[in-house]
């Protein structure tokens, strides 16, 4: 691989940590199976593969269209992790995700050119039960990634940018679906809804860190919140 296409990724490091945690969970499960413990991740690393009941609920979750190119990548990553890339025929849940993508130029030379670009992807998410329609969980996730920009290597820089956005979308989708799976398990155990107010997201970059790139901007996020509890229909505000 050329230096122009090289990049480093905090999302890759997070994936490695998740792999270690999955392995630890599998080892722990061997010693705690008699105590009723059931790991969230299966041996294949898939989310909720270790808990078929949660996996079935994830597969019954639909994700509405998310605008913009990054939103499309994120929605595809969410669908892949929820139900093998397919929308459910009879959905019981709806996952609303409002992403924001911001970037900054780093390593500025005397000429004013940047030698590195860093992107920060964030997402407020809200999980709704469709019948009765109520908000049962919400959260906020974040992922960071970066790549180097070589002088006069515009095509390579654009290619690296696209690869970085794909990694960010995958990392963010992994975090969101993992958190949703945990919340679903808690709800099945009789826990009350766990809601947060939407977290303010980073402002978009004022100028693209790569020549010719389109500066991303925050995407609107439907409001969340619940007055009431699980059982009767809640009030979405």
For the chain, domain boundaries: 3-188
If one compares 215 and 99, the residue with the highest pLDDT of the two is 99
Q: Which residues contact 30 (CB under 8 A, 6 or more apart)?
A: none
User: 137: which 2 tokens?
Assistant: 């969980």
* Alpha carbon distance 57, 176 (integer Å): 15
Q: Are the CB atoms for 177 and 82 separated by under 8 Å?
A: yes
pLDDT band at 130; cut points 50, 70, 90: very high
* Structure tokens, 29: 């499960």
CA distance 230 to 57: 16
Kindly write down the DSSP assignment for every residue of 99-120, as one continuous string: EEEEEEEEEE-TTS-EEEEEEE
SS3 105: strand
Q: Please give the pLDDT value at position 71.
A: 95
pLDDT-based confidence at 182, cuts 50/70/90?
A: very high
Q: List, for residues 118-127, the tens digit of each pLDDT value.
A: 999 999 999 9
Cβ-proximal residues to 1 (8 Å cutoff; 6+ apart), any chain? none
- pLDDT, tens digit (0-9, with 9 covering 90-100), for 85-112: 888 889 999 999 999 999 888 888 888 8
Q: Which fold has domain 3-188?
A: Double Stranded RNA Binding Domain (3.30.160)
The rounded mean pLDDT for the chain is 73
Residue 36 pLDDT > 90, yes or no? no
pTM: 0.68
């Amino acid at each position: 691989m050329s230096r122009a296409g090289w990049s480093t990724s905090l999302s890759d490091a997070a994936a490695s940590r998740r792999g270690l945690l999955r392995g630890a969970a599998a080892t722990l499960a061997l010693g705690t199976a008699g105590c009723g413990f059931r790991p969230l991740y299966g041996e294949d690393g898939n989310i909720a593969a270790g808990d078929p009941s949660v996996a079935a609920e994830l597969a019954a979750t639909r994700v509405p269209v998310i605008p913009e190119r990054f939103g499309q990548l994120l929605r595809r990553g969410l669908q892949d992790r929820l139900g093998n890339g397919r929308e459910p025929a009879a959905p019981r849940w709806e996952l609303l995700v409002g992403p924001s993508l911001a970037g900054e130029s780093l390593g500025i030379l005397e000429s004013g050119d940047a030698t590195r670009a860093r992107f920060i992807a964030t997402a407020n998410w809200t999980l709704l039960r469709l019948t009765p329609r109520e908000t049962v969980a919400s959260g906020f996730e974040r992922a960071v990634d970066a790549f180097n920009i070589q002088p006069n290597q515009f095509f390579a820089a654009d290619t690296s940018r696209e690869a970085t956005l794909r990694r960010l979308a995958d990392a963010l989708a992994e975090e969101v679906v993992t958190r949703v799976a945990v919340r679903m398990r808690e709800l099945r155990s009789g826990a009350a809804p766990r809601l947060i107010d939407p977290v303010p997201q980073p402002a978009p970059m004022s100028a693209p860190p790569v020549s010719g790139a389109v500066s991303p901007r925050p995407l609107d996020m439907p409001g969340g919140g619940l007055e009431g509890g699980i059982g009767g229909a809640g009030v979405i505000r």
